[in-house]
Chain A
């Protein structure tokens, strides 16, 4: 089993290095650091000097290696807009995005699994069908539209919840949290729902499909035939078997939550890294874009790795190397 873990880790590192390569290429060749730092009026001599200083004349692999080394020390260069270090900008706004992502993920998983199991067990029931029909709409609606409509209903018309910003935040060392204030929590609600709705519908449909599939299996029939109660059947037998695919998809979706945060943050003017990124795209702020790519890539790889390892924990069949069929 250790070999499997090591292999996965190695794969993860390879992918990360590849993503770093792309990030580096963007950073180095698309952007024009010299011009943006010196402006268009600089002389040839000044440019040459800066190029030398920035190491732009070194061989590519050296530049790449430096790039990676600097990245590991959280040095991503400076933003074209305002010349602040990118790392600082990101650090400032990361808590906002992470809190939003976490809240929406919890929302999506809890409601998704519960409704999924409910609609599977009560197949054909009125409420179950109602939930399923509404979910179809949830999947079709683009995220930003959901956000805007939620704002319309709950902020403009009902005036229950704020329509932008994080509300009051409390500083805890390097982190800023919105969980500790009333306005902070209220501000989290609409964005979390917006961000989480798509995930929730996905998880619900998946849980439902898995539950229905598992309930059709022979070992479930046997358990019923041997007199086990519904509770035993659902929790002792069915639940562990649906956990695997649900965890995988949830884990993989977590990654895209971070990406879809861009849209949600824009709708609600939420001061997170997503908003930072979209502004960078708008203003062609290359260092921020390349740093964001690296950051998101890292997040995805880590999440995939964790999901893989969790898999190994839950399904004993995988620990022996591969899914083996019993020899007859």
Chain B
């Protein structure tokens, strides 16, 4: 830890106000989400705790029927907006992390295989990647979501929503990982330590996992940060469109959609607070990611 604090990386971090500020904001949001059940006044996902009469209560005002006060107001179902935002963040972050991990595992494995084994396998994987990349990932995610839902029997569709969401986003983002890892693999496999390993008689899978893999993981971290930001936005977008998280467990995207519906009738808080939160989250991730990319870019050194 001490060594980290002395490192160049930490030094440039300390001296970049944008990086520090965005990291701080991001950290606050994450912590709030993780400790949601301690911070939040109540659990919005528990139908039993909800009182429909609380619906549309403005922020910091006492509800005329129940007398309850909500920090940021209540939405159309009577949920405390503050709690809902926190719990919704949890889901968003969960989906984001799981999706990135899925994309990363799939991308790294395919990249290794394509790079190391070469041949028709390589061509096939890369051509498929090219074709997938011509479509924007959000579209791919929507498509996978639709197909997955179609494959599942109707009764399971609701329960598996989040899993399907993770799979769709994850499967739409594997290509950058694969391409980078493949590139690095192509370089590494010509090096002498690989020839040595082959001569010792290691199997291909061992060579790939024990020798090549550690050496190609470098840029993967950077791609993972970018992909994480994309995944969060993708989840918010899909939830907004109604093809994301289930409506009883709203995430930021869902809340914004609800908020839009009630804009004209004057319940502005349902839109504003989730929007601000999403804005803060998106901006902080992007700014921090930008800074991270610039700092870790070997070309600029």
Q: List A residues at the B interface (Cβ < 8 Å).
A: 15, 18-19, 26, 30-31, 136-137, 139-145, 148-149, 151-152, 156, 163, 255-256, 259-260, 262-263, 266-267, 277-278, 280-282, 284, 286, 289, 293, 296-297, 300-301, 304
Select B134's contact among A26, A30, A300, beta carbons within 8 Å: A300
Query: Which segment, of B35-43, B174-182, B233-241, faces chain A?
Result: B233-241
New A-B pairs, 10, CB < 8 Å, besides A18-B131, A30-B150, A136-B286:
A137-B283, A140-B287, A142-B236, A259-B136, A262-B241, A266-B241, A286-B146, A289-B147, A293-B143, A300-B135
Residue B275 CB within 8 A of the other chain: yes
The reply to whether A148 and B243 contact each other, CB–CB distance below 8 Å, is: no
Which residue of chain B has the shortest Cβ distance to A156 in the bound complex?
Answer: B263
In the complex, what residues of B have CB within 8 A of residue A26's CB? 147, 150
The reply to whether A30 and B131 contact each other, CB–CB distance below 8 Å, is: no
Select B271's contact among A18, A140, A152, A277, beta carbons within 8 Å: A152
In the complex, what residues of A have CB within 8 A of residue B135's CB? 255, 259, 296-297, 300
Select B263's contact among A151, A266, A280, beta carbons within 8 Å: A151
Select A284's contact among B146, B263, B287, beta carbons within 8 Å: B146
A-B residue pairs in contact (CB < 8 Å), sample of 5: A19-B131, A144-B236, A263-B241, A286-B146, A296-B139
Report the bound CA distance from A46 to B100 in whole Å.
Answer: 46
What distance in Å separates the Cβ of A5 from its nearest Cβ neighbour in chain B?
Answer: 20
B contacts with A, residue count (CB < 8 A): 37
The reply to whether B278 and A145 contact each other, CB–CB distance below 8 Å, is: yes
The reply to whether B134 and A136 contact each other, CB–CB distance below 8 Å, is: no
Residue B5 CB within 8 A of the other chain: no
What distance in Å separates the Cβ of B262 from its nearest Cβ neighbour in chain A?
Answer: 11
Give residues 270-294 of B contacting A (CB, 8 Å): 271, 275, 278-279, 282-283, 285-287
Q: Do A141 and B279 contact each other (CB < 8 Å), given the known contacts A148-B259, A262-B241?
A: yes
The reply to whether A143 and B237 contact each other, CB–CB distance below 8 Å, is: yes
What distance in Å separates the Cβ of A247 from its nearest Cβ neighbour in chain B?
Answer: 17
In the complex, what residues of A have CB within 8 A of residue B282's CB? 140-142
Residue B212 CB within 8 A of the other chain: no
Report the bound CA distance from A140 to B135 in whole Å.
Answer: 20
Report the bound CA distance from A142 to B231 in whole Å.
Answer: 11
In the complex, what residues of A have CB within 8 A of residue B20's CB? none
Residue B211 CB within 8 A of the other chain: no
Interface string of B98-137 (1 = CB under 8 A from A): 0000000000000000000000000000000001001110
Report the bound CA distance from A176 to B200 in whole Å.
Answer: 71
Most buried by B among A19, A141, A281, A293: A281
Select B131's contact among A15, A136, A266, A286, beta carbons within 8 Å: A15
The reply to whether A145 and B242 contact each other, CB–CB distance below 8 Å, is: no
Report the bound CA distance from A137 to B279 in whole Å.
Answer: 9
Report the bound CA distance from A28 to B233 in whole Å.
Answer: 32
The reply to whether B142 and A152 contact each other, CB–CB distance below 8 Å, is: no
In the complex, what residues of B have CB within 8 A of residue A301's CB? 134
What distance in Å separates the Cβ of B109 from its nearest Cβ neighbour in chain A?
Answer: 22
Select B286's contact among A140, A143, A284, beta carbons within 8 Å: A140
What distance in Å separates the Cβ of A39 from its nearest Cβ neighbour in chain B?
Answer: 14
The reply to whether B260 and A260 contact each other, CB–CB distance below 8 Å, is: no
Most buried by B among A15, A31, A255, A259: A259
Q: Do A289 and B241 contact each other (CB < 8 Å), given the known contacts A259-B136, A304-B134?
A: no
Which residue of chain B has the shortest Cβ distance to A266 in the bound complex?
Answer: B241
Report the bound CA distance from A301 to B130 in whole Å.
Answer: 12
Which residue of chain B has the shortest Cβ distance to A300 in the bound complex?
Answer: B134
In the complex, what residues of B have CB within 8 A of residue A141's CB? 279, 282
Report the bound CA distance from A26 to B140 in whole Å.
Answer: 13
Interface string of B143-157 (1 = CB under 8 A from A): 101110111000000
In the complex, what residues of B have CB within 8 A of residue A18's CB? 131
